[in-house]
């Protein structure tokens, strides 16, 4: 999945109206609305927006004719193939009406160009695993953690051994578990952990 590596903005003028597109990463609908509040300009004529976060999306025309602003912004997000993103297009009216088609092109075009020129990054899905091991097998686990690029989040000791919590690319989880089981001769317990 591709998202924004950093916030990005772009300004265009269409028939004397200023359109300022601002795109930021958002990982939840609540975060997207917080982004909206931080970007919106109360003195602007319109603050139209859309977000897509996985299967969740929303858009708003903020007083422009229905379907002429928010939906074209959402179409730009989908057309650029980005996810976990909020785009706000701020309009300062310049005195010349654009008509429905002109508004669709202006809002969608500003959003698409902003996203097209924004720095991007791939989101790698992660898995959090908990490894429970007896004391005499602890040393054999560290090489497997390193080999699979796991990040050690915590290490707690119990009466019978240790519990190590790691974060690992989800695609490596099965191979990591097999390595741990081989290294400890089947004496480790590897479980997925929420959060």
CATH of domain 126-192: 3.30.70.240
Fold of the CATH domain 2-122? Ribosomal Protein S5; domain 2 (3.30.230)
pLDDT at 61: 93
Does 194 have pLDDT greater than 60? no
Give the DSSP per-residue string, 83-98.
Answer: -SEEEEEEEE--S---
Kindly list the domain boundaries of the chain, sorted by start residue.
2-122, 126-192
Query: Could you tell me the pLDDT band of residue 59, with boundaries at 50, 70 and 90?
Result: very high
Q: How does pLDDT run across 88-105, given as a tens digit for each residue?
A: 999 999 888 998 999 999
C-alpha span between 89 and 8 (Å, rounded): 12
Q: How does pLDDT run across 124-155, given as a tens digit for each residue?
A: 778 888 889 998 888 888 888 888 878 888 89
Report residue 112 CA to chain centroid gap. Answer: 17
pLDDT at 144: 84
């Amino acid at each position: 999945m591709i998202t924004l590596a950093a916030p990005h903005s772009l300004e265009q003028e269409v028939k004397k109206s200023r359109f300022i597109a601002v795109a930021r990463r958002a990982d939840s609908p609540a975060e997207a609305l917080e982004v909206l509040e931080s970007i919106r300009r109360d003195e602007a004529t319109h603050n139209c927006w859309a977000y897509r976060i996985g299967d969740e999306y929303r858009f708003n025309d903020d007083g422009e004719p229905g379907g002429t602003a928010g939906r074209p912004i959402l179409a730009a997000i989908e057309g650029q193939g980005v996810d976990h993103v909020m785009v706000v297009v701020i309009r300062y009216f310049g005195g010349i009406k654009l008509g429905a088609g002109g508004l669709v092109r202006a809002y969608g075009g500003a959003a698409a160009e902003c996203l097209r020129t924004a720095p991007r990054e791939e989101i790698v899905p992660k898995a959090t695993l908990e490894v429970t091991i007896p004391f005499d097998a602890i040393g054999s686990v560290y090489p497997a953690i390193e080999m699979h690029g796991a990040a050690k989040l915590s290490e707690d000791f119990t009466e019978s051994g240790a519990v190590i919590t790691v974060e690992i690319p989800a695609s490596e989880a099965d191979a990591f578990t097999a390595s741990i089981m081989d290294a400890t001769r089947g004496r480790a317990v590897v479980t997925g952990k929420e959060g």
